Amino acid sequence: MDLVHLALRYLHLLGFAAVFGGWLVSWLSRKFNFNTAMLYGIAVQLATGIVLYGLASADGDANHAKLGVKFLLALLLGVMIAIPVWKKREKVADGHFWATGALIAVTAGVAVFWQ
Report the interface residues with ligand HEM, using CB under 6 A: 5, 9, 12, 16, 19, 42, 45-46, 49-50, 52-53, 56, 67, 70-71, 74, 77, 104, 107-108, 111-112
By beta-carbon proximity to ligand HEM, the closer residue of 31 and 110 is: 110
Q: How far is the CB of 111 from ligand HEM (least distance, A)?
A: 3
Q: How far is the CB of 9 from ligand HEM (least distance, A)?
A: 4
Long-range pairs, 31-36, Cβ under 8 A, ≥24: 31/91, 32/91, 32/92, 32/94, 32/97, 33/84, 33/89, 33/90, 33/91, 33/92, 34/81, 34/84, 34/85, 34/89, 34/92, 34/100, 35/85, 36/85
By beta-carbon proximity to ligand HEM, the closer residue of 67 and 92 is: 67
Residue 75's Cα: distance from chain center in Å?
A: 9
By beta-carbon proximity to ligand HEM, the closer residue of 32 and 71 is: 71
